[in-house]
A and B are shown apart, each in its own frame.
Chain A
C-alpha cells in the first residue's frame, strides 16, 4: 500500500494526479477462502480488516452484491456517540468510540471523524429524568456525559428555539462532547484499502444466493459469480439479514424497515454540533460542505425498497422547524432511504449460529454506523476464535430464548 501523506499529495500534484495507485484491487473470486464475509458495508469491511490485522487471518474475501458502502453505510446521517443506557450496550459502543479516535491514523485514510459533540434534547420532566439517569449510568461506565440546561444549549447553539412558549419546550439535554460525525464513504473506502493491503480480496458485483452446508457445518456460498468454498462465513448484510438467514433455514427476530434522510442546499455555517430530539423526532447536523443533514424516522411497515413515504419526511421537517424556526425557508436538495434491520430490543445480534462456522452480525437498525469499527473488531474475534469476545457475548441470538434482552428503546435516546 502506498502511504498517503502530505508529501504524496504534493508529489502527485506535480504529475497532475494521474499516477495515484488504485486504492484496492478488484480480484476474481478464488475457489476457496478460510473466511468469507458477506456484505461489503462498513461492518463487513471492518470485520475483514481486523481479522487480518488482529488475528493474522490471510485468506479472506468480502463479497458484496453491489458496490462497497452502497448500503446503509453510504446512506446514514453519520452520528457517532456512545452514551447508551445499559452497561452491555454502552461498553460495546464505547469500544467503537475508542477505535474511532485513532481510526484515521490506523487506516492511513482520513475518515474525517469530527468530535463536535451531540446534544440529546429533553422536552418534558420525564425526558429530563431519563436524561439524568442515562448520564449517571454513562459516567459510572467511564463514558463522558453531562446534563446541560436550556440556557447552556442556547449559548452553544444560538439558532435553536429554547422559548418556554414553544409547543414542546426544550428543558435541557444530555451532551457527550466526544461524540460527533464522520465521513461515511471514507469509512468504507479506508477499511477497504487497509484490508486489501493485508491481502483481503474485495469482490464487488457478486451477490450471495445460497449458503452451502454439510453435516451441520457451513461449506461455502453460492454467488452470481459461481460457488466459493469457505471454512467460515460471516454475514453482515443489515436490512437483508433475514434473506440470508432464510438461505440457511434459520429464523431471526429482525424486521426490515425503510429509514430516510435528506440534505439541504449548502449554506454558511450555522450549526457546529449535532442536535437530536427523540420527543419531536428529528436530528440534524451540518456537513463540511454546508448542507444540513437531517434524519427521519422509520416507516412503520416492513420494506426492502430503499425508499420511504413523504409523510415521514414531512413529520421530520416539522420537528426540525419546531426546533429551528430560522430554517423554515431552507430548500431541501436530496432525499434517500436505506433499509434498516430492526431488532426487538434495539440492540444488535453478533452471534454464532446453530450452523457450525456460520456467524451473523445484524440488528443494528437505525444506529449502527457509530459502531462500525467496534462491530468489526468484536465480530472478527468471534469468527477467529469461534467464541464471542466479552464485549459481544451479551448480544448472542439466544438472548431471545433466555429473556436476557438489552432494552435500549426509549430510555437511551436510541434514535441513532
Chain B
C-alpha cells in the first residue's frame, strides 16, 4: 500500500485516496476549433509513462482536495506530492492536446 503525503493533511494510507490519472491535461479552451484527431488526443491518448509519472490524487476520505503526485510507475516510489500546478503549463511534460 502506498503512503501518500497529502499536501494539506500529511501522510496517510493509500486507501484514503482515490486516483485521478495523468495530471496536467488542460481542457481545450475552444473544443470546436479542434480536429477529431486533436479531440481524441485530449480525451483518450495518455502518456502512461514507464518511470516517472505526474498524476492526480484526491484525498477522498480526508480533506477531499485534489493534488498532484510524482511517482515512479515501476518501483511505485513517490518522489513528491504538491498542490496542483497552476497554470497547468508551468511544468514541462504537457499533454499535446492543449
Contacts and interface: CB of A to CB of B under 8 A. Distances in A.
Given A240-B50, A301-B55, A400 B44 contact: yes
A219 interface: no
A8 interface: no
B48 A252 contact: yes
A229 to B, nearest CB: 26
Interface in B33-73: 36-37, 39-41, 43-50, 53, 55, 71, 73
Contacts, number: 68
A256 B50 CA distance: 9
Contacts of B55: 301-302
- The interface centre, meaning the residue of A240, A255, A400 with most chain B CB atoms within 10 A of its CB, is A400
B37 A305 contact: no
Contact of A301 (B41, B44, B46, B71): B71
Contact of A304 (B43, B44, B73): B73
Nearest to B96: A251
A304 B74 contact: yes
A253 interface: yes
A305 B76 contact: yes
Nearest to B13: A311
B93 interface: no
Contacts of A210: none
Interface string A388-415: 0000000000001110000000000000
Given A301-B19, A305-B76, A309-B1, A400 B40 contact: yes
Contacts of A240: 50
Contact of A243 (B14, B15, B50, B76): B50
A300 B69 CA distance: 14
Contacts of A311: 1, 14-15
B76 A303 contact: yes
A266 interface: no
Contacts of B39: 401
A33 B2 CA distance: 45
B82 to A, nearest CB: 17
- The interface centre, meaning the residue of B18, B41, B45 with most chain A CB atoms within 10 A of its CB, is B45
A131 B73 CA distance: 37
Interface residues of A, number: 22
A192 B95 CA distance: 40
A302 B39 CA distance: 23
Contact of B2 (A254, A304, A309, A401): A309
A253 to B, nearest CB: 4
- The interface centre, meaning the residue of A240, A251, A309, A310 with most chain B CB atoms within 10 A of its CB, is A251
Contacts of B40: 253, 400-401
Nearest to A341: B48
B90 interface: no
A103 B17 CA distance: 45
A301 B45 CA distance: 16
Interface in A248-304: 251-256, 300-304
- The interface centre, meaning the residue of B14, B71, B76 with most chain A CB atoms within 10 A of its CB, is B76
A309 to B, nearest CB: 5
B36 A300 contact: no
A377 B96 CA distance: 35
Given A303-B76, A304-B73, A309-B2, A242 B48 contact: yes
22 contacts: A240-B50, A242-B50, A243-B50, A251-B41, A252-B46, A252-B48, A253-B40, A254-B48, A255-B46, A300-B19, A301-B19, A302-B21, A302-B55, A304-B50, A309-B2, A310-B1, A311-B14, A344-B44, A400-B45, A401-B36, A401-B37, A401-B40
Given A240-B50, A303-B76, 16 more contacts: A251-B41, A255-B21, A255-B48, A256-B50, A300-B18, A301-B2, A301-B19, A301-B71, A301-B76, A302-B55, A303-B74, A304-B50, A309-B2, A311-B15, A400-B44, A401-B37
Interface of B: 1-2, 14-15, 18-19, 21-22, 36-37, 39-41, 43-50, 53, 55, 71, 73-76, 96
5 A-B pairs with the lowest CB-CB distances in the bound complex, closest first:
A253-B44, A251-B45, A300-B19, A242-B48, A401-B40
